[in-house]
Amino acid sequence: MHTVVVGTSGVTASDVLAVARGGARIELSGEAVAALAAAREIVDALAAKPEPVYGVSTGFGALATRHISPELRAQLQRNIVRSHAAGLGPRVEREVVRALMFLRLKTVCSGHTGVRPEVAQTMADVLNAGITPVVHEFGSLGCSGDLAPLSHCALTLMGEGDAEGPDGTVRPAGELLAAHGIAPVELREKEGLALLNGTDGMLGMLIMALADLDRLYKSADITAALSLEALLGTDKVLAPELHAIRPHPGQGASAANMLAVLKGSELTGHHQDDAPRVQDAYSVRCAPQVAGAGRDTMAHARTVAERELASAVDNPVVLSDGRVESNGNFHGAPVAYVLDFLAIAAADLASIAERRTDRLLDKNRSHGLPPFLADDAGVDSGLMIAQYTQAALVSELKRLAVPASADSIPSSAMQEDHVSMGWSAARKLRTAVDNLTRVLAVEMYAATRAIELREGLTPAPASQAAITAARAAGVQGPGPDRFLAPDLAAADAFVRDGRLVAAVEGVTGPLQ
């Protein structure tokens, strides 16, 4: 099994995906263990002094003015975890919780948190055992990071609360730890706070969304090319020299992908109308510009994610010169903004895909295709209601595009009077990515059927590869009306698991 070694300098997006989705094992580097021990010495020295230090010998948030005596500090750390584990609502997905825990471990291993090495090792042991704390949908305001979700994870380290075992059964966390030979941690000064104070949930969801969107933007270039081909559109608008004079990188990449898919097509540029089209509709002609803008948005979001992966997010932090300082690095604004930006781009990409689908189904705009791509229009309704479903998904995506980060709601007796809502931005982006997948699946389903209805004209080899693979995956072709939901579900799975992209790349080589 793949092993990820966690050091002091952060981790990569690939590491996060390997742990969250691939079940990779985790090891702590010798460098990390040494840094953990050195930072802990600083915290222990401060704890022994009479002067109050936030997070070490004081209360938290609005209660930070109280100095806590040494005999109550272990109780203080237990209490912050218990009281902050206050989530409600549905359970969060296993991959999100694993990313959340792993990214908190990444910051702990930076040597800036003051957590003991044995606590970090227990975090790794829990992940390696396949134990997943039960984390709930609601509870994070994205400042001070993802407090409630991280608290539920810390509760598991203490042997309290509920967790899911590797067999998928939810049991008391103490039982699961005992079954795997893991001793619950006894938290000491600062450790409870250090386990709760980070942007790890929203960052983990950003990294996974970027991985999914990378596949979906390639899928969107493919479905746009299939629709252009089915509509007998012109591929001249994809010429590299046209995109070179507006040099947005994403636009050029999308145009190049579409051109690669369409190479060798006999359908592009043919017209069955009396008056040949001078230009295709915006939804066809401007596909690279819209998808390209989304690609450039993703590039910016990756930059933010990479910076956050290299960060040590905690409050207070242990600095290399021995100081322990309060700070505001836990604020989720940088991550929240790009999560919202990606949801906007996803909504627009879905919107233009739906417009192409509608054009394929309208006999007045499809240039010779039967109404709704039906076998016997009137007797058959064809894909009429498939477009309704797609339109409902697009409408939902537009609602999900309303930014969470533009909101703020004060908390903690006005001590935390401006929050990022980054967790909420991440949660709605996950839904947006799911819905975008479904929208592109409907376009793929309609476009492949339409191409097959263009008798006497041969599609591009890459298009034919997509059609052949889709049919092998249970996505049926033209014919009389049938129970449509299974076909759409098969199309969704075909796009979601990357088989559409793989089929096309088998002909074109890697797409950009």
| Nearest by Cα to 408 from 333, 477, 458 | 333
Compute the chain's Rg from CA coordinates.
26
Side-chain-facing half-sphere of 317: CA atoms under 13 Å: 18
Enumerate the H helices of 9-111 as residue ranges.
Answer: 13-20, 30-47, 73-84, 94-108
Residue 486: cis peptide before it, omega within 30 degrees of 0: no
Burial per residue of 381-401, b for 16 or more beta-carbon CB atoms within 10 angstroms, e otherwise: ebbbebbebbbebbebbbebb
Residue 420 DSSP symbol: -
- Look-up of token digits 């781009």: 345
Q: What gap in Å lies between CA 364 and CA 375, rounded to an integer? A: 17
Query: How far from 357 is each of 177, 223, 439, 442, 446, CA to CA, in Å?
Result: 52, 10, 9, 8, 7
**Phi, psi (rounded to 5 degrees) for 426:** -70, -40
Helix (H, G, I), strand (E, B) or coil at 115: coil
**192 contact partners, CB below 8 Å, separation of at least 6:** 76, 77, 78, 79, 80, 81, 154
- Please report, as a single letter, which amino acid is at residue 46: L
Residue 14: cis peptide before it, omega within 30 degrees of 0: no
The CA-CA-CA angle for residues 456, 458, 462, to 5°, reads 160
Query: How far from 84 is each of 59, 77, 196, 276, 407, CA to CA, in Å?
Result: 13, 11, 9, 66, 22
Q: What gap in Å lies between CA 494 and CA 168, rounded to an integer? A: 26
- Annotated catalytic residues are 54
**Is 148 in contact with 136 (CB distance < 8 Å)?**
yes
Q: What gap in Å lies between CA 408 and CA 401, rounded to an integer? A: 17
Q: What gap in Å lies between CA 224 and CA 349, rounded to an integer? A: 10
Question: What proportions of the chain, in percent to the nearest 5, are helix, strand and coil?
Answer: 55, 5, 35
